[in-house]
């Protein structure tokens, strides 16, 4: 199976019409049919059922093309990364994050690092299961909470910053005038709960709910939370490491002693100077940012 055959199979699966797929690929219909037949012979099952001039995916073909889409994406990324290295870079450092909002200062770090290490590419990876990818050595560095980092085997933990809990609301909310929000200030409000909240954050949510009979709204994820708060449908409690530092929402310090220790983790056997230098740069950068930004 080659890249050309992957493209042909995916285009035919999308159009369910060999003539249209061939036109889209700028090849003849017989050439497309031949390549797909060759692919089917190689893998040992039919991808398409031929019904006169029309085609439809077999059950095996549907599953195969779904997986093939991911394979094509990974192959494309691998080729593009290889092209980058062939023309400019000597090594790569991959760093994993759970969501985009966590990497607010990463572009600054990458820019500064490039000044002293122009031969090293720093590649951010954002995925829900990024710690699994890190444990499988698919990532070189991972941003994590210390409580999660301590569960990882054979790693080195690098302190980054301490994050507190904030109340999120809109700029025109009366609460936005407060320097410190207390649980009693939330009387009559709707509080977003659950979703992607950590155990530590859920504890704070439950402490608030024990003090006040608040209405609650379950949030399935962080994006839902941000949109719902911006729409003035509810307020939420959030750790500062998720702050995107935009003017859309106001992050107000919330009265609680709970804190999050944010760290970077590297593999014990990764002794590259470049990895150590990048971690040190990140630590220095966050020490500076913590002086002026509400982390």
Domain harbouring 55, CATH code: 1.10.10.10
pTM of the shown model: 0.71
Q: Taking each helix axis as running N to C, give the angle between helix 29-43 and helix 18-25, from 0 to 180 degrees, rounded to the nearest 10.
A: 110
Residue 238 domain-assigned (yes or no): yes
| pLDDT level of residue 60 (50, 70, 90 thresholds) | very high
**Pair (8, 21) in one structural domain:** yes
Residue that is last in its domain, among 32, 63, 83: 83
**Pair (12, 140) in one structural domain:** no
What is the residue whose two structure tokens read 């740069």? 281
**Pair (142, 64) in one structural domain:** no
For residues 56-76, give the mean pLDDT: 89
pLDDT value at residue 137: 93
**Pair (267, 147) in one structural domain:** yes
pLDDT digits (tens, 9 = 90+) for 108-154: 999 999 999 999 999 999 988 899 999 999 999 999 999 999 999 99
**Pair (148, 268) in one structural domain:** yes
Cα 61 from Cα 45, distance rounded (Å):
8
User: CB of 39 within 8 A of CB of 33?
Assistant: no
Lowest mean pLDDT among 51-65, 77-91, 98-112, 158-172: 77-91
Sheet holding 250-253, edge to edge: 236-239, 165-169, 250-253
Residue 127 domain-assigned (yes or no): yes
Q: Please give the tally of structural domains in the chain.
A: 3
What CATH number is attached to the domain comprising 150?
A: 3.40.190.10
**Pair (270, 149) in one structural domain:** yes
Lowest mean pLDDT among 25-39, 188-202, 244-258: 188-202
DSSP string over the chain: --HHHHHHHHHHHHHS-HHHHHHHHTS-HHHHHHHHHHHHHHHTS-SEEEETTEEEE-HHHHHHHHHHHHHHHHHHHHHHHHHHHHHT-SEEEEEEESSGGGGTTHHHHHHHHHHH-TTEEEEEEE-TTHHHHHHTTS-SEEEEEHHHHTTSSSEEEEEEEEE-EEEEE-TTSGGGG-SSB-GGGGTT-EEEESTT--HHHHHHHHHHHHHS--EEEE-SSHHHHHHHHHTTS-BEEEEGGG----SSSEEEEBS----EEEEEEEETT---HHHHHHHHHHHHHHHHHTTTS--
pLDDT exceeds 70 at position 86 = no
For residues 78-98, give the mean pLDDT: 81
Residue 192 domain-assigned (yes or no): yes
**Pair (171, 151) in one structural domain:** no
**Pair (135, 281) in one structural domain:** yes
Residue 214 domain-assigned (yes or no): yes
**Pair (95, 67) in one structural domain:** no
pLDDT value at residue 174: 93
Residue that is last in its domain, among 61, 83, 105: 83
**Pair (76, 32) in one structural domain:** yes
Looking at the chain, the whole-number percentage of residues with pLDDT higher than 70 is 98
Tokens of 150: 């301590």
**Pair (217, 186) in one structural domain:** yes
Residue 294 domain-assigned (yes or no): no
Looking at the chain, the whole-number percentage of residues with pLDDT higher than 90 is 69
**Pair (17, 72) in one structural domain:** yes
pLDDT digits (tens, 9 = 90+) for 242-258: 888 888 899 999 999 99
How much is the mean pLDDT over the chain? Answer: 90
Residue 108 domain-assigned (yes or no): yes
Tokens of 6: 């992957």
Residue 295 domain-assigned (yes or no): no
Residue that is last in its domain, among 83, 101, 116: 83
Q: 280 is in which domain, residue-wise?
A: 90-161+262-289
pLDDT exceeds 80 at position 3 = yes
Residue 25 domain-assigned (yes or no): yes
pLDDT exceeds 90 at position 58 = yes
Cα 142 from Cα 19, distance rounded (Å):
47
pLDDT value at residue 245: 84
């Amino acid at each position: 199976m080659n890249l050309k055959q992957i493209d042909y199979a995916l285009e035919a699966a999308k159009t369910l019409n060999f003539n249209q797929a061939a036109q889209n690929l700028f090849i003849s219909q017989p050439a497309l049919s031949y390549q797909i037949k060759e692919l089917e012979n190689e893998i040992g099952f039919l991808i398409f059922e031929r019904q006169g001039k029309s085609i439809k995916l077999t059950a095996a073909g549907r599953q195969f093309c779904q997986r093939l889409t991911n394979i094509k994406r990974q192959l494309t990324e691998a080729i593009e990364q290889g092209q980058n290295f062939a023309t400019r870079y000597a090594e790569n450092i991959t760093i994993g994050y759970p969501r985009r909002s966590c990497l607010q200062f990463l572009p600054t770090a990458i820019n500064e690092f490039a000044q002293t290490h122009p031969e090293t590419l720093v590649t951010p990876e954002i995925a829900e299961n990024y710690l699994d990818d890190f444990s499988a050595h698919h990532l070189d560095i991972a941003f994590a909470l210390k409580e999660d980092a301590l569960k990882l085997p054979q790693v080195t933990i690098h302190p980054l910053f301490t994050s507190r809990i904030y109340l999120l609301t809109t700029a025109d909310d009366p609460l936005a005038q407060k320097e410190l929000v207390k649980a009693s200030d939330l009387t009559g409000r709707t509080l977003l709960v659950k979703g992607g909240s950590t155990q530590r954050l859920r504890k704070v949510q439950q402490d608030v709910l024990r003090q006040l009979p608040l209405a609650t709204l379950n949030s399935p994820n962080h994006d839902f939370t941000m949109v719902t708060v911006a729409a003035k449908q509810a307020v939420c409690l959030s750790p500062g490491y998720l702050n995107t530092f935009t003017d859309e929402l106001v992050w107000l310090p919330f009265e609680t002693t709970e804190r999050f220790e944010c760290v970077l983790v590297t593999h014990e056997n990764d002794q590259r100077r470049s990895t150590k230098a990048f971690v040190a740069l990140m630590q220095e950068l966050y020490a500076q940012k913590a002086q002026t930004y509400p982390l």
